Amino acid sequence: MGTELDRQKFVENALATIAVLPHGKRIDALLACFSGLLDSMDVVAIREKRDQLMERFSHCGASFETCALVIQWLDCQLALRGTAGDG
């Protein structure tokens, strides 16, 4: 999953697969998908995606709670990378 185009195609395929899962299974599948994506990204890329999400969330209409949780999750991932010496 080296290029941005490969990553985008992976996400599109994953979301299409997740969409047909029973409602109760979708959240776990989304979290697993996002975790896998984060594992394949370096710290700089995660920070860039975090900043992009901050910008998009301010205009997308998602609830504040949802936005805050996603940003908090990314911040935790970045903190873990720093602790592990990856950052």
pTM confidence score: 0.61
Tell me, letter by letter, the H, E, C secondary structure of 18-85: HHCCCHHHHHHHHHHHHHHHHHCCCHHHHHHHHHHHHHHHHHHCCCHHHHHHHHHHHHHHHHHHHHHC
Q: What is the share, in percent, of the chain residues with pLDDT greater than 70?
A: 87
For residue 1, pLDDT over 60 is answered with no
Domain ranges of the chain: 1-40, 42-87
pLDDT digits (tens, 9 = 90+) for 30-39: 888 888 888 8
> What confidence tens digit (pLDDT) does each residue in 52-87 have?
887 877 677 767 787 788 888 888 888 888 765 554
